[in-house]
Every structure is written in C-alpha cells, then in structure tokens.
Chain A
Amino acid sequence: MSLVGWLFAAALALCALAAIGGLVWPRSWVAGAGTVAAGLAAATAGVASVVGSRWSAWLPDVLPLAGVRLSIDPLAGLFMAVTGGVSVCVAVYGIGYARTPGHRLDSRGVQAAVPLFVGAMVLVPAAASVSTLLLAWELMALTSLLLVLAEHRRRAEVGRAGLWYAVMTHLGFAAILAGLALFAAGAAGESFDQLRAAELPPGLRNAVFVVTLAGFTSKAGIVPLHVWLPRAHPEAPSHVSALMSAAMVNMGCYGIVRVGLDLLGGGPAWWWLVVLAAGALSALYGILQAVVTSDLKRLLAYSTTENMGLVLVGVGAAGFFAASRAPALAGLALTAALLHVVNHAGFKTLLFLAAGSVLRATGARDLDALGGLRARMPHTTVLFAIGALCASALPPGNAFVSEWLLLQSLIRVSPLSGVAGAVTMPLAVAVIALSAGLAVATFVKAFGVGFLARPRGVGAERATESPPSMLAGMGLAAVACLALAVVPALALPAVGSAAAVAFPQTPPGLVSGAVTLALAGVRGVLSPLLIAGSLVVALVAVLGTVRLLAARRARRVARLWDCGAGPMSARMEYTATSFAEPLQRVFDDVLAPETDVDVTPARESAYLVERVAFHARVPDRVERRLYAPLLAAVDGVGRSVRGLANGSVHRYLAYGFYALIGMLVVLAVLR
C-alpha cells in the first residue's frame, strides 16, 4: 500500500474515530481535533496523489455483491485535497463555534455527523466503481441533511429548508443512479476501468450523459436545480454551510468531469454547449439574486451558484474544445475551471465562517440590521474583507487569476470550432464579464453595509469579537486565499495534472512559471505577485501624496452636513436594499420584484389612515414559476388518488394481485 493509500485510510479512520469520540464524549474539541487530523491526512493524500503517486484497491468483502473499489488519481486527489483543506479550517472554527450559547451545536449528533460528512466527502472522489460512488454519495447526502437540520428545534424554517434539500438531493441521486446504472448495463461491469473501456451506442451515451448531468448539477447548485442552496445554506449552522458550499457542491463538478470527460471520454459538442449554457445561466442568475438579497448567508449561497456556474462554463468550454480538436485550449479551460474550484473553496470557506461569526455575535443575518462591526469585531472584519476581495474577482484576489485563465481560453477560441464556437464563446466572455461586475457590487454591499458605518440594530450594537479558535479557522482560510492569489503557481501544477486525467493527450506545462504565469499554446502572461506588489506601491504612493498635499493646505474643521437638521441616526444610512435598488431597477424584468403596500384605515373613518406598511421582496423567479406549479400539481395528484388508499387490507391485496397478473401478461406478450 502506497503513501496515498495509508494517508487515505488514516483520514477515513480518523473521521470514524472523531465521530465515535463525538458520540461518547461530546466536547467540541474532541470531534474537532479528530476532524482536523482527518482533514490534514486527506489533504496530504490528495497532494501526494496529485504529485504523482497513484493508489487503487479492491475490497471485495466490505460490501456484499460488488465490494468496494477505490482509486485515487490526480483528479480525485485534487478534490480530496480541497475537501481536506476546507475541513481543517472548518473543524478548527467549529471548536469555538459549537459552544455558541443557545444553539446546541455541541450535541452528540452534530459532533458525530461533522466528521462523518467529511469522511463521506473524502470517499466520493476516491470511489472507482458505480456502487461505491453511489454509496459514498448517499452517505454524503444523509450526513449533510442531518447537519442542515441541526437547529430545527429553534426555528421552524430549518425543517422546511431540510425538506427542500432532502427532496432535491435525492432526486439528484436518483438521476445519477439511473444514469450510471444505464452506463454499467451497457458496459461489461460497473468498475470505472470497465466503464472507460465500454463501447456504447451513441444514443445510450447521450442518455447517460444527460441524466447524470441533471443529477450532478443539482448537487452543484446549477440553475434551475439550485433552489435548495438559498434555503439550506442560510438555515444550516455556518460551519456546515461552509463545508457544503466550499466542498460538497464541488462534487457535482467532479461528477461531470469524471463521467463526461473521463469515463465517457468526451462527447459531441452539443453536450458541452449544454453544460456551458447551464453554467452561464447559473453565473448570471446566481449573482443577480445575490446582488439584490439582503440576507448575508443567502447572498453567499447565491454566490456559490454563480461560481459553480463559472466552473461549468470552463468545463463546458473544455469539452467543447476537445470535441473540436483543440487540446491545448481544452486543457487550459479545464485547468481554469479546476483552479476556480480551488479558489472558490478558499474564499467561500472564509466568507461563510465569517458570516457565522457575525451571526453568533449579533444574532442577525439580515444586512439591514448589521453595520458598525468594524469597531466591535475588527479581526472578523479584516478576514471578511479578504474573502470579499477574493470573491469579487478583482486583483489581487484569487478568483481574478482563475477567471483570467478562463477568459484567456474562451477568447482564444480556434477557427476549428466553427460557427458554434464563434457564437457561444464571445457570449460566454460577456457573461463572465457581467457576472464579475455584479460580483463586485454584491461584495461591496455585503462588506460595506454589513461591517462599516454605524450599527443598525441592537444585535450589531452589542456584538463582541469571536473566540480565538474561530478566528484561527478563518485565519487559515484567509492565508490560503492570499497564497493562492499571490502565488497561484502553488496550486497550478496540481490542477494541471488533475486536468491531464481528463485530457491525457494535452501537452504538459500549459501554465508555467512561478512569479509570472506564462501560457503555452496561446500567448498570454500574468504576474499576480507583481500586480499585488504594484497595487500596494500605488496605494502607498496615493495615500502619501494626499497626506502631503493635505498638510500644506489650510483646513477648517466643519460639522458633518446633515441638511441643517438634528444629528444623523443609523436609520439614515445606506442599507443593503437601497444599495441594490438601482441594479434591481435595471434588471426589473429579470428579477420581477414584488412590492406590496398595506394601508390600514382607522376604525372611525376610511379617510383616516392608521398605518401604512410597505413590503418589498425579490422572490426566486425560477422557484416561483417552475417549482410552485409543479409542487401544486404533485399535491393535486396526491389528493385526487387518496380515494385509492382507503385503509382496506383486502383492497391492497387486490392491488398487489392485479399488478402481478398485469406484469405477467406484459412479460408473456413481450417474450
């Protein structure tokens, strides 16, 4: 057994130990320390496998019928390393966060479920057969569902969010199950090696791809299957949100890359145009919803939809370029997509953990009730600012590097890809540009309204800084983000070798250089380190000049201009809603916001108004227009067939009997 195998086994064993420890001795540091160790082991295993050491195993006795088949190649290793890294930050943070008074997050169930969830997420990319993958997938879904429901006794919305999540994730599971079962039925067996070697008719290949794509995109939170994200993420405890949003949704992308590019070996161009279109739609829709929402965690959840959309744009472009025989571009696009997965994991961990600190200190997720945290929670403010900078895809953030790479691959579309490439790729560039711009607005809003100015609510006024373990967890994530932002060469070789699993024919060293990234195949250079350095120099120069000039000129201290009226109050501040209002008006036709004015007249006279209430909200349009009618229809069918089940045992036996007869008749006719 190689080093990777030992480390992988150690990670799983530590997860199990931590879960047992959490059950037996529900102190938050017991499960936390175990999960940190497991995360470290998983991350090291991932890094080791990316560096070049492979490992695979067949354990026929662990499960009946098929056994467990495991294999860790660089692609699996990359996702395992990301999961491990996220788990370390989250577990360190969770030690302090679980002791939040009144949240009961240090209960046995939650303490045991976190390491199990981490273990399941480590297992998913290592699976090398259909049955193992499905088992790990289901374990991941169940443990995360338990964690989403952790606070169901405190808030009724948690139960509803859990129901949405359970239904969506299981529909996705059913789709993946159906698709992979079809695939395995067409191949000689169910191990990934046999699937790779299988020669399937094109119709079956299309069916396998489309059905598994539906399942995997529902996990990745891609529009229109994203509806569980903005419900489950805000209601789950924040460290669980971080795990789900930074590590679990990645598994959807992993599944698409593994099944579409690796097992099916790529496919016709239309597959990948569908992926690209779904990604572009998610990127735009997700960030548009994020920019208008005022709930901090809901905003982050929609931002996850946006970023997964960008990843899928990259994956779709990679598949499309491969189908149009441009291997260098395909490799570059997939590298960009996978690098964005890593970057997104970094900053989303940081942002969700910081949002958890804010929630813990103020009891509020609504940006319109926050503000003034800069003075009360200085460390959290700095950490959130780093996360927001990284998420807004501006230099010197880490998302800038991956989006730049993605844009490079899309702009350099080769003439070989024909009309489809000439039309879709420039459109995809426009989508990325628009979503990057809106992301800046979103995170300026989240940081400016949430942390600066004066507190808008009692909770924000009384906020205090988080305990050291929580700050340490966020600090780790922030350091990782900054390292990825300034020296992306740390992650690029790993990402490149992961991309080479999907495209073995790509030339190696597509993106090279330690300080200045140079692209092979297409011309392009980028030096994040020098950009960051020159930005710092420019900032210092501007501030110094301003200070120098200000010292020379005569100055007069004047009162803050308050329109000549009394002192200004926090109610006069810019709120998240008012900040987003111009954008909401611009995108009015897309977002379809709802406003409602309630006028309550006095009892004595209809002409005297006692109270006027104004409500404005931006509902998720996909949910309103697609899911609400669907749910109503399902509900109606359920109601109408209620007469069939009247409680009579005789009737049920008769149903069974007739069904059997019917089956036999059908079989007799068909055979």
Chain B
Amino acid sequence: MPGLWRKIRKTGRVAEPAPARVPAEVPAAAAELAGSIQIRHVDAGSCNGCEVEIGSVFGPVYDGERYGVRLVASPRHADALLVTGPVTRNMEVALRRTFEAVSEPRLVVALGDCARGCGVFAGAYGVVGAVGDVVPVDVEVAGCPPEPTAIVAALRGLTGR
C-alpha cells in the first residue's frame, strides 16, 4: 500500500491537456442525455485493434471520462453502444439483443472502418455486414484503427463537453 501511494505521488498527473472542442451539432437523442453518456462496448467481430485504442481513450493519458463518457458493464446501464468490427454471423443476434436491451433514448457509435463498411473483411463468408446493416447507427468514427484523439472527438460530439 505505501508503495502504491508513493507511485501515485511520483507519477502525478499524466493526462494531456484537453484540446479545444470542435463545435458541432449534438444529435437530438444525445442532447436529451445532457452531457453524461454511459457506454457499453460491443465487439461484433473486431480484430482487437479498435479495442486497444478504446483502452487508451479511457486510460490516464487521454482520460475520456473527463468529457462525461463512461464505460459500463451492461447494456441495461448504458445510453449508447460502442460497436467495433464487422458484424459476424455469430454476433448478429447478440448485437440485436444488446441494442434491444438499451433503454431509450439510445445511441449507436460504429467505431473503425470495419464497423462502418466491413473494411478488409467485406464479402467474407462469416460476415453479415456493417453495423449499420444490423442496428441504426448515429455516429461513425473512421480509421483502422481510429486514433484515440478521433474517438475522443466523436464522444465529445455526443456529450457536448
């Protein structure tokens, strides 16, 4: 325990200064949530590249939580789904059910090129389609994988902070 306290004191604050927000219109459903959005992440068939970047977003350097977004453990607790990867056959039903389980108003963020248009997996036999083919998508983030700054910017677009 003293070691932990010492480490905390020595490390100090490593979060980068918050960049200025790009002014943009907040979607109507997100505006109703008033700047606090709980996110459930769903891996619909990702290669885990996007997951690594999500990990960075909620790590100490990019510190996504200071903008009012938070990762939660169940869609029952969530306002938005953060979906990565092309939707594989095995995950199609699970994704639909997860979407059903989120209370309204609800949002879907398609993260990465695979989620937006199947990326390199387009036309593969195990792939049903992009996230937009299965559930309605509100926000898309481009990149393979998208950089943490891009993810943070997209999430700030939802919270408006």
**Most A-side CB within 10 Å, residue of B93, B95, B97:** B97
- Nearest-CB residue, chain A, relative to B96: A564
Q: Hey, what's the 0/1 contact readout for B79-109 against A, CB within 8 Å counting as 1?
A: 0000000000000011101101100100000
The CA of A633 and the CA of B89, in the complex, are separated in Å by 67
Cβ A561 vs Cβ B101 within 8 A: yes
Within 8 A of B (CB), among A556-597: 556, 558-559, 561-565
- Nearest-CB residue, chain A, relative to B42: A564
B-side contacts of A562, CB under 8 Å: 97
The CA of A561 and the CA of B73, in the complex, are separated in Å by 12
Cβ B94 vs Cβ A558 within 8 A: no
A-side contacts of B104, CB under 8 Å: 556
The CA of A442 and the CA of B109, in the complex, are separated in Å by 45
Given the known interface contacts A556-B104, A558-B101, A559-B101, the answer about A564 and B94 at a Cβ–Cβ threshold of 8 Å is yes
The CA of A407 and the CA of B99, in the complex, are separated in Å by 53
The CA of A609 and the CA of B76, in the complex, are separated in Å by 38
The CA of A448 and the CA of B21, in the complex, are separated in Å by 51
Given the known interface contacts A558-B100, A558-B101, A559-B100, the answer about A565 and B75 at a Cβ–Cβ threshold of 8 Å is no
A-side contacts of B95, CB under 8 Å: 564
Cβ B94 vs Cβ A561 within 8 A: no
B-side contacts of A559, CB under 8 Å: 97, 100-101
B48 within 8 A of A: no
Return A174 CB to nearest CB of chain B, in Å: 54
The CA of A250 and the CA of B101, in the complex, are separated in Å by 54
Return A383 CB to nearest CB of chain B, in Å: 35
**Most B-side CB within 10 Å, residue of A562, A564, A565:** A564
- Nearest-CB residue, chain A, relative to B93: A564
The CA of A563 and the CA of B75, in the complex, are separated in Å by 9
Q: Hey, what's the 0/1 contact readout for B54-75 against A, CB within 8 Å counting as 1?
A: 0000000000000000000011
Q: Hey, what's the 0/1 contact readout for A538-565 against B, CB within 8 Å counting as 1?
A: 0000000000000000001011011111
A-side contacts of B101, CB under 8 Å: 558-559, 561
Cβ B76 vs Cβ A561 within 8 A: yes
Return B61 CB to nearest CB of chain A, in Å: 31
Cβ B74 vs Cβ A561 within 8 A: yes
A-side contacts of B75, CB under 8 Å: 561
A-side contacts of B98, CB under 8 Å: 564
Within 8 A of B (CB), among A507-527: none
Return A133 CB to nearest CB of chain B, in Å: 60
Cβ A565 vs Cβ B100 within 8 A: no
Main secondary structure, interface of B, reads: helix
**Most A-side CB within 10 Å, residue of B76, B93, B95, B101:** B101
B-side contacts of A563, CB under 8 Å: 94
The CA of A365 and the CA of B95, in the complex, are separated in Å by 41
The CA of A562 and the CA of B76, in the complex, are separated in Å by 11
The CA of A251 and the CA of B95, in the complex, are separated in Å by 64
The CA of A564 and the CA of B90, in the complex, are separated in Å by 11
Return B85 CB to nearest CB of chain A, in Å: 15
The CA of A556 and the CA of B99, in the complex, are separated in Å by 13
A-side contacts of B94, CB under 8 Å: 563-565
B-side contacts of A564, CB under 8 Å: 93-95, 97-98
The CA of A556 and the CA of B98, in the complex, are separated in Å by 15
A-side contacts of B76, CB under 8 Å: 561
- Nearest-CB residue, chain A, relative to B74: A561
Q: Hey, what's the 0/1 contact readout for A19-34 against B, CB within 8 Å counting as 1?
A: 0000000000000000
- Nearest-CB residue, chain B, relative to A561: B101
The CA of A562 and the CA of B75, in the complex, are separated in Å by 11
Return A655 CB to nearest CB of chain B, in Å: 68
Return A544 CB to nearest CB of chain B, in Å: 24
The CA of A559 and the CA of B100, in the complex, are separated in Å by 8
A-side contacts of B74, CB under 8 Å: 561
B-side contacts of A556, CB under 8 Å: 104
B-side contacts of A565, CB under 8 Å: 94
The CA of A559 and the CA of B97, in the complex, are separated in Å by 8
B-side contacts of A561, CB under 8 Å: 74-76, 97, 101
- Nearest-CB residue, chain B, relative to A554: B104
The CA of A563 and the CA of B91, in the complex, are separated in Å by 11
- Nearest-CB residue, chain A, relative to B97: A564
The CA of A561 and the CA of B95, in the complex, are separated in Å by 12
- Nearest-CB residue, chain A, relative to B95: A564
The CA of A563 and the CA of B97, in the complex, are separated in Å by 8
The CA of A262 and the CA of B94, in the complex, are separated in Å by 73
Return A556 CB to nearest CB of chain B, in Å: 7
Return B40 CB to nearest CB of chain A, in Å: 11
The CA of A562 and the CA of B93, in the complex, are separated in Å by 12
Q: Hey, what's the 0/1 contact readout for B100-135 against A, CB within 8 Å counting as 1?
A: 110010000000000000000000000000000000
Q: Hey, what's the 0/1 contact readout for B17-29 against A, CB within 8 Å counting as 1?
A: 0000000000000
Return B44 CB to nearest CB of chain A, in Å: 10
The CA of A352 and the CA of B98, in the complex, are separated in Å by 45
The CA of A564 and the CA of B76, in the complex, are separated in Å by 12
- Nearest-CB residue, chain B, relative to A562: B97
Return A471 CB to nearest CB of chain B, in Å: 40
**Selected A-B contacts with CB under 8 Å, 19 pairs:** A556-B104, A558-B100, A558-B101, A559-B97, A559-B100, A559-B101, A561-B74, A561-B75, A561-B76, A561-B97, A561-B101, A562-B97, A563-B94, A564-B93, A564-B94, A564-B95, A564-B97, A564-B98, A565-B94
Closest 5 CB pairs between A and B? A564-B94, A564-B97, A561-B101, A564-B98, A561-B76
Given contacts A562-B97, A563-B94, A564-B93, 11 further A-B contacts (CB under 8 A): A559-B100, A559-B101, A561-B74, A561-B75, A561-B76, A561-B101, A564-B94, A564-B95, A564-B97, A564-B98, A565-B94
B interface, CB within 8 angstroms of A: 74-76, 93-95, 97-98, 100-101, 104
